Structure 1
């Protein structure tokens, strides 16, 4: 197997990086879901080959890409789809907005589980829909869905915006919980819009199950949104896709792009093909490094900042940290930015009731991760000094 180096990362200062441009150079940016690692060399080579052709016009997905996605979903998740079931998009966020626009009318209710990343929280209001929120339940082992609250919410809703693996908690839904959700949605004729963008970053001991793969009847009411962007660190290439096996649902979804969602990035299509076709070894190596980072973060928090409550995520490179026991006056995000020079995502972004939380991105080198935790611990220790 090729050896990939994740302990070294290129400097991203002065590259136009959103992540590295928000704060001054002395701040470690650990906020947006964007990893610092070099892209898989197989993807870089594919883009270099495409650059040899000097025309960069509008593009469509080649048959080879569709077939590669079909193969990948069958091989990795046991989910059989057809090439025509795939609708390419410039992002998952446009996808769930298109889904709501295509099937709901103003005043309809959409169920969302909190905490949840902001674009999902904001989506219903774009279409004059009412968001119904139910919280995830925190147990000793981590976050889980609340079946009773879900059932009550789905009894009122016309659509359910599911995020699996869940952002920001990193929860991976079990087959039993997905079957429960599917049955409730079928009984109440609820559309399922499933954001599964982190599905390829599931750690040992868990498995990702696309909810639409449970049964044809579930797939008939489901719009599944996926992308290579998070896993293969190519979000700037703006390429995602929806899998919709129901032809009528797919037609309505595609019609909702009018005037809102343009064609997909040429280089994003090439990079996505290379990712799924050629970069599996890189993904496996990355997953091992991220799992090691996740565990290192747990150990360092326990050692240096035991007041933070942290449930190691079952997937993704995002950590959801409860800072409520630290006694910080005001926002923990503001405190750590000001006193530790660590830029985290503020918890209230994921729901108004989560102001005592922060989200930390550990998709970085071990050295940067260790530096961030040491800075945070130092800021807390310094606060106690006279």
Structure 2
């Protein structure tokens, strides 16, 4: 979603967490986890081989990254806090994207955007190759980011506002951005599913009741794939949602920003073709932002499901286009065309990390349940039976010095949960689990190594001046 996906605001942090979070407290570095070997289920593509984008994905050190980077992930919390909250990857940028940005800067091409340009064909080609979605180039529009795209689509699609439904728990940014438009938000909880690979699904019976109710629903914001579960909705569920939307004249805006991160062997279904087939009014918002870690390179696409939706998007204010970053537009174009191999390597590493995290949680964090995502690097963890009380987020931040996302911010059904970012080196996840295990009442502790024999006494070494100490 937005460039600060689920990042707590500075005000909220001050009031809720940092007031209880002395920045001077230092958490000791966690010891190497005894199970440091790659998880047996790791995809072969995710082995620690050199990545052409720079540092191998498996060797990224958060202590080094904190010194190099200035984004929210690395600036919001004290240095001893392990940041696994905001939806930013630790992975280094794809070389194809780096080259595209350098070329534009070298050409002093840093002016205003006047339309999608080559991005329309780039996105359409990616959508056709990966999802079988045939997108007419002239139905691709641009906006600053997916959050802006959702809001502006709602402005033109339902200018008088009304009642808007969300399937919750869901991305907290929806609640914030919808304050910009005149809608009453109606939460429709997801239906629980026992399988850990799903965890939940759209509650179509409840959606139908709300759509058919008096005064009904005017708009529905679909999260596809669904954040925070990493849920990839089935074609049947999406087709039924499209049918219900058409029958009850509900405008559907589909946020599909996590779609490029769909796991191997899983089929992502775009909503737009199903909406067009059912006669439902719908637009989709997508970007390379999440898939290629480009949140600061502001650009997203809005795709009309059919001609009727395209007429709406042609009514967007000109500022929707001119506020797009030209560097973001070229970065997105490079991502959808030349950087597909980088994406595949990143997804392979994310899948391996999810397997590792699930294994670590099962062995080290009793009472914690992992909802396995099928797309994206955000993992939903259920701490309700873990013994950390009603606010696991704050306990983990304050006592374990790990920054996650507070599940209560995701709406109905989120309390007692946290969301963790898995787009990092495996050792970072091991350290996070070690830290959290240290505060759980019944967690398994790593076995302490046997003490080494005492060495023979030796003379105290002569101190050597350290030139670095005087800087």
Structure 1-normalised TM-score? Answer: 0.93
Task: Give the equivalent residue in structure 2 for 1:147.
Answer: 204
Q: Give the whole-Å Cα distance in 2 for the aligned partners of 1:86 and 1:167.
A: 24
Q: Give the whole-Å Cα distance in 2 for the aligned partners of 1:21 and 1:188.
A: 46
Task: Give the equivalent residue in structure 1 for 2:27.
Answer: none
The verdict on how the C-alpha distance between 1:38 and 1:189 changes in structure 2, with shifts beyond 3 A counting, is same
Task: Give the equivalent residue in structure 2 for 1:133.
Answer: 187
Q: Give the whole-Å Cα distance in 2 for the aligned partners of 1:74 and 1:106.
A: 35
Query: How big is the shift at 1:134?
Result: 0.8
Q: Give the whole-Å Cα distance in 1 for the aligned partners of 2:116 and 2:238.
A: 32
Is structure 2 residue 58 aligned with structure 1 residue 7?
yes
- Structure number having the greater helix percentage: 1
Instruction: Answer yes or no: is the 8 Å Cα contact 2:231–2:374 preserved in 1.
Output: yes
Aligned equivalent of 1:41, options 63, 74, 95: 95
Task: Give the equivalent residue in structure 2 for 1:83.
Answer: 137
Q: How does 1:52-67 map to 2 (within 5 A)?
A: 52-61=106-115, 63-67=117-121
Q: Give the whole-Å Cα distance in 1 for the aligned partners of 2:342 and 2:307.
A: 35
Is structure 2 residue 340 aligned with structure 1 residue 280?
yes
Query: How big is the shift at 1:81?
Result: 1.6
Farther off after superposition, 98-107 or 273-282 = 98-107
**RMSD between superposed Cα atoms in Å:** 2.3
Task: Give the equivalent residue in structure 2 for 1:375.
Answer: 435
Instruction: Answer yes or no: is the 8 Å Cα contact 2:139–2:304 preserved in 1.
Output: yes
Q: Which has the larger radius of gyration?
A: 2
Is structure 2 residue 258 aligned with structure 1 residue 207?
no
Instruction: Answer yes or no: is the 8 Å Cα contact 2:114–2:321 preserved in 1.
Output: no
Local SS of the residue matching 2:323 = coil
Task: Give the equivalent residue in structure 2 for 1:312.
Answer: 372
Query: How big is the shift at 1:47?
Result: 1.2
Q: Give the whole-Å Cα distance in 2 for the aligned partners of 1:170 and 1:158.
A: 26
Deviations 1:110-145 (A, max 9, x none): 111000111223344422211111111222111111
Query: How big is the shift at 1:163?
Result: 0.3
Farther off after superposition, 160-169 or 349-358 = 349-358
The verdict on how the C-alpha distance between 1:353 and 1:136 changes in structure 2, with shifts beyond 3 A counting, is closer
Instruction: Answer yes or no: is the 8 Å Cα contact 2:169–2:189 preserved in 1.
Output: yes
Query: How big is the shift at 1:203?
Result: 1.4
Instruction: Answer yes or no: is the 8 Å Cα contact 2:82–2:403 preserved in 1.
Output: yes
Instruction: Answer yes or no: is the 8 Å Cα contact 2:384–2:390 preserved in 1.
Output: no
Query: How big is the shift at 1:306?
Result: 2.5
Deviations 1:26-80 (A, max 9, x none): 1001111111110111111111122211242112356432112111111111111
Instruction: Answer yes or no: is the 8 Å Cα contact 2:168–2:189 preserved in 1.
Output: yes
The verdict on how the C-alpha distance between 1:218 and 1:224 changes in structure 2, with shifts beyond 3 A counting, is farther
Q: Give the whole-Å Cα distance in 2 for the aligned partners of 1:353 and 1:143.
A: 11
Deviations 1:241-287 (A, max 9, x none): 11014344334334344667742101111111111111111111111
Is structure 2 residue 290 aligned with structure 1 residue 230?
yes
Local SS of the residue matching 2:229 = coil
Farther off after superposition, 134-143 or 373-382 = 373-382
Task: Give the equivalent residue in structure 1 for 2:425.
Answer: 365
The verdict on how the C-alpha distance between 1:381 and 1:14 changes in structure 2, with shifts beyond 3 A counting, is farther
Instruction: Answer yes or no: is the 8 Å Cα contact 2:144–2:320 preserved in 1.
Output: no
Structure 2-normalised TM-score? Answer: 0.77
Structure 1: gaps (5+ residues) = none
Farther off after superposition, 74-83 or 118-127 = 118-127
Task: Give the equivalent residue in structure 1 for 2:234.
Answer: 174
Farther off after superposition, 315-324 or 200-209 = 200-209
Local SS of the residue matching 1:326 = coil
Q: Give the whole-Å Cα distance in 1 for the aligned partners of 2:236 and 2:302.
A: 24
Q: Give the whole-Å Cα distance in 2 for the aligned partners of 1:338 and 1:234.
A: 30
Instruction: Answer yes or no: is the 8 Å Cα contact 2:113–2:322 preserved in 1.
Output: no
